[in-house]
Amino acid sequence: NAGVMQNPRHLVRRRGQEARLRCSPMKGHSHVYWYRQLPEEGLKFMVYLQKENIIDESGMPKERFSAEFPKEGPSILRIQQVVRGDSAAYFCASSPPGALKKLFFGSGTQLSVL
């Protein structure tokens, strides 16, 4: 049973380009969360999605950032017109349906903006 798969592991973009980060949840998991982490800092919640629905995007900047979790395929976190301040590790986590909400994390995508 494969774990949460994130790709790419490392992504380098120049200022103004677009970054697309992908996350395939564990089999049977219908909930996906995206977190951002700066060095030596905690996990900052960005967005919580279920299949085809955004449940909570309160942690995601209103401009340039978007997320989706389509019926088929991985969840995508998209950052348009990246700036240096977007450089961070982006972690995706999935959880099964139910109230317990145990999260299983992918290996993360390290985004570097030049």
Partner 1 sequence: QKEVEQNSGPLSVPEGAIASLNCTYSDRGSQSFFWYRQYSGKSPELIMFIYSNGDKEDGRFTAQLNKASQYVSLLIRDSQPSDSATYLCAVNINSGGYQKVTFGTGTKLQVIP
> What residue ranges bind partner 1 (CB under 8 A)?
33, 35, 41-43, 45, 48, 55-56, 91, 93, 95, 99-108
Q: Which is nearer to partner 1, 17 or 104 (CB)?
A: 104
Question: What is the smallest separation between the CB atom of 30 and partner 1, expressed in angstroms?
Answer: 13
Residue with Cβ nearer partner 1 (25 or 108): 108
Please identify, using beta-carbon distances, which residue of 12 and 55 lies nearer to partner 1: 55
Would you say 76 or 103 has its CB closer to partner 1?
103
Least distance (Å) from partner 1 to the CB of residue 4? 9
Q: How far is the CB of 114 from partner 1 (least distance, A)?
A: 21
Query: Smallest gap, in angstroms, from Cβ of residue 90 to partner 1?
Result: 11
Q: What are phi and psi for residue 73, nearest 5 degrees?
A: 100, 175
The Cα 94–Cα 24 span in angstroms is 9
